Amino acid sequence: MDKNELIETLSRFPYDRREYWVVAGGAMVLYGMREETQDIDLGCTMKLADILEEDGHLTGRTEDGNRRFRFGESIEIFENWLEGSIVDIDGIQAVSLDGLLEMKKKLGREKDLKDMDLIKRYMDSEE
């Protein structure tokens, strides 16, 4: 999905926008580093995690014990998944560039290493 589709999908997400933020590939699309992403990964507060669990969206736990949720076919939500800070991009909360870079570093998969190069080049072009 491209940036417009991502924003449209989140506009239908029925939870408080202050309680979640876009991470991973979705954040890269919001920043304009990528044209599209396959799905939307979100970090969320414990408050939203409690609501999502009550609503029946819990799918498991991460290695560090935080809850993981699935909403529909394209949104996956991770409790407390945040490095760095949160910024506003076109009315959507997203992880900061420094935080995104740190998240990708911690994931350490081959695709994340490639993404780290894109993020660093983007950050260099913004200076």
Q: How far is CA 102 from CA 17, 50, 74, 82, in A?
A: 23, 26, 24, 9
Name the residue among 53, 36, 43, 38 with its Cα closest to residue 17: 43
Which helix (H) or strand (E) segment holds residue 108: the answer is none
Is there a domain that residue 66 lies in?
Answer: yes
Q: How many CB atoms lie within 10 A of CB 9?
A: 18
Query: Considering its fold, how many domains does the chain have in total?
Result: 1
Is there a domain that residue 126 lies in?
Answer: no
Tokens 């660093």, residue located = 120
pLDDT of 107:
87
What are the tens digits of pLDDT across the range 54-88? 999 999 999 899 999 999 999 999 999 999 999 99
Name the residue among 101, 96, 99, 93 with its Cα closest to residue 118: 101
Is there a domain that residue 127 lies in?
Answer: no
What are the tens digits of pLDDT across the range 108-120? 889 888 999 999 9
State the Cα–Cα distance between residues 96 and 27, nearest whole angstrom: 9
What are the tens digits of pLDDT across the range 26-65? 999 999 999 999 999 999 999 999 999 999 999 999 989 9
Q: What is the CATH number of the domain that holds 46?
A: 3.30.460.40
Is there a domain that residue 85 lies in?
Answer: yes
Is there a domain that residue 45 lies in?
Answer: yes
Is there a domain that residue 124 lies in?
Answer: no
pTM of the model: 0.94
Is there a domain that residue 123 lies in?
Answer: no
Residue 76 lies in domain:
3-114
State the Cα–Cα distance between residues 40 and 31, nearest whole angstrom: 14
Is there a domain that residue 77 lies in?
Answer: yes
